[in-house]
Amino acid sequence: MNDEEITSILFSTTDPISHLLGTWASEFSVGAVVLRLALSLALSAIIGWERSSKRHSAGFRTFIVVTLSGTLAMLLDISLCFRYSSKLFLLSAAAVVSSARIATRTLFFSSRNQIMGLTTSVALWASCFLGIAIGAGQYTLSLAAFVTLLFCLSKLPELEFYLKNRSNHFEIHLELKNSLNLQNFVTTIRRLGLKIDAIEMNPAYANSGLSVYSIAISISNDELKKYKTHREIISALSTLEYVSHIEEI
Protein backbone atom coordinates (compact mmCIF):
# COMPACT_ATOMS: atom_id res chain seq x y z
CA MET A 1 0.00 0.00 0.00
CA ASN A 2 1.51 3.34 -1.08
CA ASP A 3 1.16 6.78 0.48
CA GLU A 4 -1.58 7.87 -1.94
CA GLU A 5 -3.76 4.85 -1.06
CA ILE A 6 -3.29 5.47 2.67
CA THR A 7 -4.19 9.14 2.23
CA SER A 8 -7.29 8.14 0.27
CA ILE A 9 -8.44 5.90 3.12
CA LEU A 10 -7.72 8.40 5.88
CA PHE A 11 -9.21 11.46 4.20
CA SER A 12 -11.77 10.00 1.78
CA THR A 13 -14.58 12.07 3.31
CA THR A 14 -14.21 15.82 2.89
CA ASP A 15 -14.73 17.63 6.18
CA PRO A 16 -16.65 20.93 5.70
CA ILE A 17 -14.55 22.87 8.22
CA SER A 18 -11.35 21.41 6.79
CA HIS A 19 -12.51 22.47 3.33
CA LEU A 20 -13.02 26.04 4.56
CA LEU A 21 -9.62 26.16 6.24
CA GLY A 22 -7.80 24.82 3.21
CA THR A 23 -6.02 21.65 2.20
CA TRP A 24 -3.33 22.11 4.88
CA ALA A 25 -5.91 21.36 7.60
CA SER A 26 -6.62 17.89 6.20
CA GLU A 27 -3.00 17.02 5.50
CA PHE A 28 -0.64 15.48 8.02
CA SER A 29 1.47 18.59 8.42
CA VAL A 30 2.93 20.56 11.31
CA GLY A 31 0.16 23.15 11.02
CA ALA A 32 -2.56 20.51 11.05
CA VAL A 33 -1.02 18.76 14.07
CA VAL A 34 -0.79 22.01 16.03
CA LEU A 35 -4.40 22.88 15.12
CA ARG A 36 -5.72 19.50 16.27
CA LEU A 37 -3.81 19.56 19.55
CA ALA A 38 -4.98 23.13 20.23
CA LEU A 39 -8.59 22.24 19.41
CA SER A 40 -8.40 19.17 21.63
CA LEU A 41 -7.03 21.28 24.47
CA ALA A 42 -9.71 23.97 24.10
CA LEU A 43 -12.73 21.67 23.86
CA SER A 44 -11.62 19.36 26.67
CA ALA A 45 -10.89 22.35 28.89
CA ILE A 46 -14.49 23.55 28.50
CA ILE A 47 -15.89 20.11 29.34
CA GLY A 48 -13.50 19.76 32.27
CA TRP A 49 -14.47 23.18 33.58
CA GLU A 50 -18.16 22.21 33.46
CA ARG A 51 -17.45 19.07 35.48
CA SER A 52 -15.14 20.72 38.00
CA SER A 53 -17.54 23.63 38.55
CA LYS A 54 -20.03 21.07 39.87
CA ARG A 55 -17.39 19.46 42.11
CA HIS A 56 -17.30 16.12 40.32
CA SER A 57 -14.58 13.56 40.94
CA ALA A 58 -12.84 14.16 37.59
CA GLY A 59 -12.43 17.75 36.50
CA PHE A 60 -10.42 20.25 34.49
CA ARG A 61 -6.99 18.62 34.13
CA THR A 62 -8.31 15.05 33.92
CA PHE A 63 -10.56 15.77 30.95
CA ILE A 64 -7.77 17.68 29.18
CA VAL A 65 -5.26 14.84 29.60
CA VAL A 66 -7.71 12.11 28.53
CA THR A 67 -8.83 14.03 25.42
CA LEU A 68 -5.27 14.98 24.45
CA SER A 69 -4.25 11.33 24.86
CA GLY A 70 -6.90 10.31 22.34
CA THR A 71 -5.78 13.01 19.91
CA LEU A 72 -2.10 12.10 20.27
CA ALA A 73 -2.86 8.39 19.83
CA MET A 74 -4.69 9.05 16.57
CA LEU A 75 -1.92 11.36 15.30
CA LEU A 76 0.68 8.70 16.04
CA ASP A 77 -1.44 6.05 14.30
CA ILE A 78 -1.70 8.25 11.20
CA SER A 79 2.05 8.85 11.29
CA LEU A 80 2.72 5.11 11.50
CA CYS A 81 0.36 4.51 8.60
CA PHE A 82 2.37 6.87 6.43
CA ARG A 83 5.74 5.55 7.57
CA TYR A 84 5.16 1.80 7.68
CA SER A 85 2.09 1.37 5.45
CA SER A 86 0.16 0.02 8.42
CA LYS A 87 -3.61 -0.47 8.32
CA LEU A 88 -4.05 -0.93 12.07
CA PHE A 89 -4.89 1.92 14.47
CA LEU A 90 -3.57 0.13 17.54
CA LEU A 91 -2.69 3.18 19.63
CA SER A 92 -6.18 4.66 19.20
CA ALA A 93 -7.74 1.38 20.27
CA ALA A 94 -5.40 1.22 23.27
CA ALA A 95 -6.32 4.80 24.21
CA VAL A 96 -10.04 3.91 24.24
CA VAL A 97 -9.43 0.85 26.44
CA SER A 98 -7.14 2.79 28.79
CA SER A 99 -9.60 5.67 29.13
CA ALA A 100 -12.35 3.18 29.99
CA ARG A 101 -10.19 1.75 32.78
CA ILE A 102 -9.33 5.22 34.06
CA ALA A 103 -13.01 6.18 33.96
CA THR A 104 -13.96 3.26 36.21
CA ARG A 105 -11.61 4.66 38.86
CA THR A 106 -13.91 7.66 39.26
CA LEU A 107 -16.75 5.41 40.47
CA PHE A 108 -17.30 5.03 44.19
CA PHE A 109 -20.01 4.13 46.70
CA SER A 110 -21.28 6.89 48.95
CA SER A 111 -22.26 6.41 52.58
CA ARG A 112 -25.82 6.04 51.32
CA ASN A 113 -24.98 2.99 49.17
CA GLN A 114 -25.22 4.99 45.95
CA ILE A 115 -22.91 4.61 42.97
CA MET A 116 -21.38 8.06 42.47
CA GLY A 117 -19.44 9.45 39.52
CA LEU A 118 -21.14 7.37 36.82
CA THR A 119 -21.86 10.32 34.51
CA THR A 120 -18.35 11.71 34.90
CA SER A 121 -16.91 8.25 34.21
CA VAL A 122 -18.81 7.91 30.92
CA ALA A 123 -17.98 11.52 30.00
CA LEU A 124 -14.26 10.76 30.36
CA TRP A 125 -14.62 7.81 28.00
CA ALA A 126 -16.56 9.94 25.51
CA SER A 127 -13.86 12.61 25.71
CA CYS A 128 -11.30 10.09 24.53
CA PHE A 129 -13.43 9.43 21.45
CA LEU A 130 -13.68 13.19 20.96
CA GLY A 131 -9.90 13.40 21.06
CA ILE A 132 -9.58 10.62 18.49
CA ALA A 133 -12.03 12.38 16.15
CA ILE A 134 -10.02 15.61 16.46
CA GLY A 135 -6.77 13.76 15.82
CA ALA A 136 -8.28 12.25 12.67
CA GLY A 137 -9.02 15.73 11.35
CA GLN A 138 -12.80 15.33 11.60
CA TYR A 139 -13.34 18.92 12.73
CA THR A 140 -17.06 19.12 11.96
CA LEU A 141 -17.79 15.81 13.65
CA SER A 142 -15.64 16.84 16.64
CA LEU A 143 -17.43 20.16 17.13
CA ALA A 144 -20.84 18.52 16.76
CA ALA A 145 -19.87 15.82 19.28
CA PHE A 146 -18.49 18.46 21.65
CA VAL A 147 -21.68 20.55 21.58
CA THR A 148 -23.83 17.45 22.07
CA LEU A 149 -21.70 16.16 24.95
CA LEU A 150 -21.59 19.53 26.68
CA PHE A 151 -25.37 19.89 26.29
CA CYS A 152 -25.95 16.45 27.83
CA LEU A 153 -23.70 17.22 30.79
CA SER A 154 -24.90 20.76 31.52
CA LYS A 155 -28.58 20.87 30.51
CA LEU A 156 -30.04 17.38 30.70
CA PRO A 157 -29.72 17.15 34.52
CA GLU A 158 -32.53 19.70 34.76
CA LEU A 159 -34.79 17.57 32.56
CA GLU A 160 -33.72 14.44 34.42
CA PHE A 161 -34.62 16.06 37.75
CA TYR A 162 -38.02 17.18 36.38
CA LEU A 163 -38.89 13.70 35.13
CA LYS A 164 -37.51 12.01 38.23
CA ASN A 165 -39.52 14.27 40.55
CA ARG A 166 -42.74 13.19 38.82
CA SER A 167 -42.14 9.47 38.42
CA ASN A 168 -44.09 6.87 40.37
CA HIS A 169 -40.96 5.41 41.92
CA PHE A 170 -38.30 7.02 44.10
CA GLU A 171 -35.82 6.20 46.83
CA ILE A 172 -35.24 8.03 50.11
CA HIS A 173 -32.53 8.29 52.71
CA LEU A 174 -34.27 8.10 56.09
CA GLU A 175 -32.82 8.80 59.53
CA LEU A 176 -35.04 7.85 62.47
CA LYS A 177 -34.40 8.82 66.08
CA ASN A 178 -35.09 5.26 67.17
CA SER A 179 -35.34 1.94 65.32
CA LEU A 180 -38.67 1.31 67.08
CA ASN A 181 -40.14 4.14 65.00
CA LEU A 182 -39.69 2.23 61.74
CA GLN A 183 -43.03 0.45 62.12
CA ASN A 184 -44.80 3.77 62.67
CA PHE A 185 -43.15 5.19 59.56
CA VAL A 186 -44.18 2.19 57.46
CA THR A 187 -47.78 2.51 58.69
CA THR A 188 -47.84 6.22 57.82
CA ILE A 189 -46.43 5.52 54.35
CA ARG A 190 -49.17 3.01 53.60
CA ARG A 191 -51.92 5.33 54.83
CA LEU A 192 -50.70 7.98 52.40
CA GLY A 193 -51.15 5.61 49.48
CA LEU A 194 -47.48 4.77 49.09
CA LYS A 195 -45.98 1.33 48.68
CA ILE A 196 -42.61 0.28 50.10
CA ASP A 197 -40.70 -1.84 47.59
CA ALA A 198 -37.54 -2.38 49.64
CA ILE A 199 -35.96 -1.34 52.94
CA GLU A 200 -32.25 -1.59 53.59
CA MET A 201 -30.52 -0.57 56.79
CA ASN A 202 -27.42 1.51 56.14
CA PRO A 203 -24.41 0.02 57.98
CA ALA A 204 -22.35 3.21 57.56
CA TYR A 205 -24.34 4.76 60.45
CA ALA A 206 -24.20 1.72 62.74
CA ASN A 207 -22.53 3.55 65.68
CA SER A 208 -24.03 6.99 65.15
CA GLY A 209 -27.00 6.55 67.47
CA LEU A 210 -29.39 6.93 64.54
CA SER A 211 -31.38 4.29 62.69
CA VAL A 212 -30.66 4.98 59.03
CA TYR A 213 -32.39 3.30 56.09
CA SER A 214 -32.53 3.41 52.31
CA ILE A 215 -36.15 2.89 51.27
CA ALA A 216 -37.54 2.35 47.75
CA ILE A 217 -41.08 3.68 47.42
CA SER A 218 -43.80 3.48 44.76
CA ILE A 219 -46.77 5.84 44.51
CA SER A 220 -49.90 3.74 44.29
CA ASN A 221 -52.52 6.40 45.09
CA ASP A 222 -54.00 7.94 41.92
CA GLU A 223 -54.42 11.38 43.51
CA LEU A 224 -50.80 11.47 44.59
CA LYS A 225 -49.73 10.46 41.08
CA LYS A 226 -51.58 13.44 39.61
CA TYR A 227 -50.85 16.25 42.02
CA LYS A 228 -47.89 15.53 44.29
CA THR A 229 -44.18 15.59 43.46
CA HIS A 230 -41.52 13.66 45.35
CA ARG A 231 -40.37 16.87 47.01
CA GLU A 232 -43.84 17.58 48.38
CA ILE A 233 -44.23 14.02 49.67
CA ILE A 234 -40.83 14.07 51.36
CA SER A 235 -41.55 17.51 52.83
CA ALA A 236 -44.73 16.14 54.43
CA LEU A 237 -42.91 13.08 55.81
CA SER A 238 -40.20 15.28 57.31
CA THR A 239 -42.78 16.76 59.70
CA LEU A 240 -43.13 13.43 61.54
CA GLU A 241 -41.70 13.93 65.02
CA TYR A 242 -39.60 10.76 65.01
CA VAL A 243 -37.93 11.56 61.67
CA SER A 244 -34.50 13.11 62.19
CA HIS A 245 -33.76 13.61 58.48
CA ILE A 246 -35.20 12.51 55.15
CA GLU A 247 -34.23 13.24 51.55
CA GLU A 248 -34.47 11.70 48.10
CA ILE A 249 -31.49 9.81 46.72
Assess contact for 26 and 8: CB atoms under 8 A: no
56 DSSP assignment: -
- Classify the phi-psi angles of 14: left when phi > 0, otherwise alpha if psi is within -120 to 50, otherwise beta: beta
Angle between helices 182-191 and 230-237 (to 10 degrees): 140
Beta bridge partners of 216: 171, 198
Rounded-to-integer distance, Cα 43 and Cα 130, Å: 9
This model's pTM is above 0.85: no
Q: Which of 120, 85, 114 is nearest to 102 (CA)?
A: 120
**How much is the pLDDT for 116?**
66
Rounded-to-integer distance, Cα 87 and Cα 42, Å: 30
- Give the pLDDT of the chain (249 residues) as one tens digit per residue: 555 555 554 544 578 888 888 888 888 889 999 999 999 999 999 998 888 877 765 678 889 999 999 999 999 998 888 787 767 778 888 888 888 887 777 665 555 555 667 788 888 899 999 999 999 999 999 999 999 999 998 888 888 777 777 788 888 889 988 888 888 999 988 888 888 888 888 776 666 667 888 889 888 877 776 667 888 888 888 999 989 888 888
Assess contact for 218 and 168: CB atoms under 8 A: yes
Assess contact for 144 and 79: CB atoms under 8 A: no
Q: Give the dihedral sign, CA 15/19/20/25.
A: positive
For 55, residues 6+ apart whose C-beta sits below 8 A from its C-beta are none
